[in-house]
């Protein structure tokens, strides 16, 4: 009996220690205090009743800001036609191609023109498959629970991306007009195809990790052949040669000729995408004036990782204004869904008043939002316009979007300069618009950042 009492006492002591170790839970006393957060005042009841029948965004819409933003812009790049990525994550590709088509239309006096996005998508997914498989081969001596291997297996493939994918893919494979390779259901609705490809790539990863010697590359080749077949069935077979008839901006016939994708690019675009552009970023969580590179953040295994110069927002605006004034559109990315009125097509901090709706505050600044995963770049668009006041200070900006002509403001989004400060992240700009001191920064050895940094998720 005495032994039982001792064991019981020890057991109860253990329970007590365990309870002490878990201090921090909600006690009944705390719950009584917490319940005071809702006391059923008339104002709280009114909000509760409204929220029972309406979305938060509808109720938070600021009636004092209901009027449409002035749509005049002091400086604008001429563009023709709005594209539509539909249910795919290819904003980065549409944006990059839209930058190039604006130049092509101006240079060659064309009417509306569109590059084939699915042509580039095909090779993007093929190259990403090879990138994944070769990365699995390169890391096969690491344990499968290693952070790098785990990240690869968690992210085998997606149709999201960024500008280095545009530059590396087009430099390697060229481009074709949309008429030479039109969209398919799968190219416009990519989720099912992505699941199939991901499943196959993860299966292949396990197989490759077990192989030795020359058998590894032989197996990879067979795997890529199977991936190619799936892509051809989903997206079509990319043309190696095609005929294209050119008309000028007035609809007059100019010529008909046969091209390879590389010949078409060289004749009608011809820009050095890898050497003529730089990416700049406004990330207040990292030191300005430094160059950063993101491991595995590329589309082509033998291509370039994403590399950028981190700069204060005002330096980025200087280059953006110079480019727009000279008629050159730019690749631009941001946290698009923050304070976005999709009906008007405006991004404005005054669009929604969540603080008043819930009688609270949202005081975090840009740096704090990034640090806490509350904000990050999510979508790429084409920066085409700025409205400057008499002091050459921007009031608002406009981007050409890829959500179709019926979305936003005639297919575009207008953002206030205050919104631009808070939610703009990346810009790709031609070197001729970059001041020399920023070009000098690119001589630094880049600081390598891990692929799993949440700031560098693919833009969709």
Using the CB atoms, write b or e for 13-26: b if 16+ within 10 Å: eeeeeeeeeeeeee
**Region label for 210, one of left (φ > 0), alpha (ψ between -120 and 50) or beta (otherwise):** alpha
Rounded to the nearest 5°, which phi and psi values hold at 346? -125, 140
* Residue numbers annotated as active site: 91, 379, 401
CA count, 13 A, side-chain hemisphere, 21: 6
In a 3-state reduction of DSSP, which class is residue 412? strand
CB 309 within 8 A of CB 291: yes
C-alpha 67/C-alpha 216 separation (Å) is 62
CB 190 within 8 A of CB 89: yes
DSSP 226-284: HHHHHHHHHH-PPPSSEEEEEEBTTS-EEEEEEE-HHHHHHHHT---TTTSEEEEE--T
Using the CB atoms, write b or e for 419-445: b if 16+ within 10 Å: bbbbbbbbbbbbeebbeeebeebeeee
How far is CA 451 from each of CA 145, 155, 256, 459, rounded to the nearest angstrom? 16, 10, 45, 14
Rounded to the nearest 5°, which phi and psi values hold at 365? -90, 180
């Amino acid at each position: 009996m005495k032994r039982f009492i001792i064991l019981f006492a020890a057991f109860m002591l253990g329970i007590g220690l365990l309870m002490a170790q878990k201090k921090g839970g909600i006690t009944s006393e705390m719950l009584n205090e917490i319940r005071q957060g809702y006391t059923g005042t008339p104002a709280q009841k009114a909000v509760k009743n409204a929220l029972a029948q309406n979305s938060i965004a509808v109720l938070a819409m600021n009636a004092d800001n209901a009027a449409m933003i002035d749509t005049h812009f002091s400086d604008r790049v001429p563009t023709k036609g709005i594209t539509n990525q539909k249910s795919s994550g290819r904003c980065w590709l549409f944006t990059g191609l839209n930058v190039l088509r604006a130049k092509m239309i101006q240079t060659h006096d064309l009417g509306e023109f569109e590059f084939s996005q699915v042509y580039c998508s095909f090779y993007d997914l093929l190259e990403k498959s090879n990138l994944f498989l070769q990365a699995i081969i390169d890391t096969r001596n690491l344990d499968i629970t290693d952070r790098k291997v785990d990240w690869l297996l968690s992210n085998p493939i997606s149709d999201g991306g960024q500008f280095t994918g545009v530059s590396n893919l087009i430099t390697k494979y060229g481009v074709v007009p949309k008429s030479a390779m039109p969209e398919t259901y799968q190219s416009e609705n990519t989720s099912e195809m992505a699941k199939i490809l991901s499943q196959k790539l993860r299966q292949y990863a396990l197989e490759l990790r077990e192989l030795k010697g020359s058998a590894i590359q032989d197996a990879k080749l067979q795997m890529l052949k199977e991936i190619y077949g799936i892509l051809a069935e989903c997206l079509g077979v990319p043309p190696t040669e095609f005929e294209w008839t050119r008309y000028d901006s007035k609809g007059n016939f100019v010529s008909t000729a046969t091209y390879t994708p590389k010949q078409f690019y060289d004749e009608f675009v011809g820009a050095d995408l890898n050497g003529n552009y730089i990416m700049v970023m406004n990330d207040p969580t990292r030191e300005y004036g430094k160059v950063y590179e993101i491991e595995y953040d590329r589309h082509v295994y033998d291509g370039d990782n994403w590399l950028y110069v981190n700069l204060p927002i005002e330096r980025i605006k200087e280059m953006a204004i110079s480019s727009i004034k000279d008629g050159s559109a730019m690749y631009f990315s941001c946290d698009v869904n923050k304070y976005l009125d999709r009906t008007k097509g405006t991004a404005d901090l005054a669009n929604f008043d969540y603080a008043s709706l819930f009688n609270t505050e949202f005081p975090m600044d840009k740096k704090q939002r990034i640090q806490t995963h509350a904000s990050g770049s999510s979508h790429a668009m084409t920066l085409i316009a700025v409205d400057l006041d008499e002091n050459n200070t921007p009031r608002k900006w406009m981007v050409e979007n890829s959500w179709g002509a019926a979305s936003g403001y005639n297919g575009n989004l207008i953002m206030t300069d205050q919104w631009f400060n808070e939610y703009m992240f990346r810009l790709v700009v031609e070197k001729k618009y970059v001041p020399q001191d920023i070009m000098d920064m690119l001589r630094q050895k880049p600081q390598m950042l891990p692929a799993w940094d949440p700031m560098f998720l693919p833009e969709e």
